Homo-oligomer: A and B are copies of this chain.
Amino acid sequence: MKQQVALWDVFEVELKGADLANPFSDASLSAVFSFGNRQVVAKGFYDGDSTWRIRFMPDTEGEWRFTTESNRPELNGREGSFICSPARPGLHGPVRVRNQFHFAHADGTPYFPFGTTCYAWTHQPLAMQEQTLETLRAARFNKIRMCVFPKHYIYNNNEPLMPMFEVGADGKEDFDRPNAAAFRHLDAQVSKLREMGVEADIILFHPYDRWGYCLMGEDRDTHYLRYIVARLSAYSNVWWSLANEYDFLIDVKPVEYWDRLFHVVEECDPNRHIKSIHNGNPNMNFDHRKPWVDHVCIQNWDVKRTATWRDTWGKPVINDEPEYEGNIPRPWGNISAQELVNRFWITVMRGGYAGHGETFMHPQDLLWWAKGGVLRGESWKRIAFLRDLLEQDVKRGLTPYTPANSRGEFNRISGAHDGDVRYLYFGEHQPREWAVGLPMEDGDYDIDLIDTWEMTITPLEKAPLPVSPPLRGHLGVVHNAGPEAAFGVRLHGKPWQAVRVRTRKS
Contact = CB atoms under 8 A, between A and B. Distances in A.
A476 B153 CA distance: 10
Please tell me how many copies of the chain the complex holds. 2
Contact of A475 (B215, B323, B332, B471): B215
A208 B476 contact: yes
A430 B476 contact: no
A125 interface: no
Interface string A424-436: 0010111111111
Contacts of A206: 476
B211 A152 contact: no
Contact of A432 (B328, B332, B426): B328
Nearest to A410: B331
Contacts of A336: 428-430, 494-495
Nearest to A251: B477
Given A334-B430, A361-B433, A493-B327, A248 B479 contact: yes
A439 interface: no
Residue from the set A215, A282, A430 with the largest chain B CB neighbour count within 10 Å: A430
Given A282-B411, A329-B467, A412-B301, A474 B208 contact: yes
A40 to B, nearest CB: 36
Given A430-B335, A476-B249, A495-B339, A488 B412 contact: no
A210 interface: yes
A466 interface: yes
Nearest to A302: B304
A207 interface: yes
B335 A471 contact: no
A432 B471 contact: no
A361 B330 CA distance: 40
A214 B475 contact: yes
A428 B335 contact: yes
Contact of A332 (B208, B412, B494): B412
B334 A431 contact: yes
Contacts of A18: none
Contact of A474 (B152, B304, B339): B152
Given A336-B495, A339-B495, A432 B475 contact: no
Interface in A454-506: 466-467, 469, 471-477, 479, 488, 493-495
A14 interface: no
A212 interface: yes
A212 to B, nearest CB: 6
A432 B361 contact: yes
A1 interface: no
A153 to B, nearest CB: 6
A334 B413 CA distance: 11
Given A329-B431, A411-B282, A473 B335 contact: no
B474 A435 contact: no
A209 B477 CA distance: 9
A466 B328 CA distance: 9
A174 interface: no
A475 B338 CA distance: 36
A314 interface: no
A374 B95 CA distance: 57
A151 B279 CA distance: 49
A197 interface: no
Contacts of A153: 471
Contacts of A474: 152, 208-210
A160 interface: no
A281 interface: yes
Nearest to A328: B431
Nearest to A480: B330
Interface in A291-334: 301-302, 304, 323, 327-332, 334
A206 B476 CA distance: 8
A428 to B, nearest CB: 4
A409 interface: yes
Interface of A: 152-154, 206-212, 214-215, 248-252, 280-282, 301-302, 304, 323, 327-332, 334-336, 338-339, 361, 408-409, 411-413, 426, 428-436, 466-467, 469, 471-477, 479, 488, 493-495
Given A249-B476, A361-B433, 14 more contacts: A153-B471, A208-B474, A210-B475, A215-B475, A248-B476, A248-B477, A251-B477, A252-B477, A281-B408, A323-B412, A328-B431, A329-B432, A335-B495, A336-B429
14 contacts: A152-B474, A154-B471, A208-B476, A211-B475, A215-B475, A248-B476, A280-B479, A328-B433, A331-B426, A334-B426, A335-B429, A336-B429, A336-B430, A338-B495
